[in-house]
Amino acid sequence: MPTYCYEDKKGNVSEHVYPMGKAPREIKRGCVTLRRAFYAEFKSVPASTSCWPMTCYASGVEPEKAGELRKYLRDRGVPTDVTPDGDPIYRSNSHRKKALKVRGLVDKSAYA
C-alpha cells in the first residue's frame, strides 16, 4: 500500500499508509488535525544525502530465519548484518548487489 504524507500546524510531517486512492485529505489524531502534504510526497532526496547503510525490507526474511540468512550470506563471502526482524542491512550499493546475487535475487529498478 502507498505511503501518504500529512502535516500538522507546526509543520511536522508524518507518514501514513492507506489503500491506493483512499487517503483522506485530513486526519484527526486526538485534538490535532493533520492535513495531506502533497509537496512532501513528491519531494526528492538531495544527491549529497547518502542512503547507506540501508535496511532492505523487500529482501528480508521471517524473523525466525534472520540468523539463518546472516549465516548463509557470511558463508558465501558476503557478510551482512540482519535485523532481528529479518531485514538485511546493506553497507553500499556494491555490497547490496553482491548479497542479492548470492541469493538469486534481482532488483529490476536498480538500473545497474
The residues facing 90 across adjacent strands are: 54
| Spatial contact of 21 and 11, defined as CB atoms under 8 Å apart | no
Q: For residue 58, give the C-alpha cell.
A: 523487500
For the chain, 112 residues long, give each residue's pLDDT as a single digit of tens.
788 999 999 888 888 899 988 999 999 988 999 999 988 887 665 555 567 889 998 899 999 999 999 999 999 999 999 999 999 999 988 899 999 999 999 887 765 4
pLDDT at 72: 97
pLDDT value for 39: 85
**pLDDT computed for residue 23 by the predictor:** 92
Q: What is the pLDDT of residue 2?
A: 84
Residue with cell 563471502: 77
| pLDDT given at position 24 | 94
Give dist(CA 13, CA 36) in Å, integer. 9
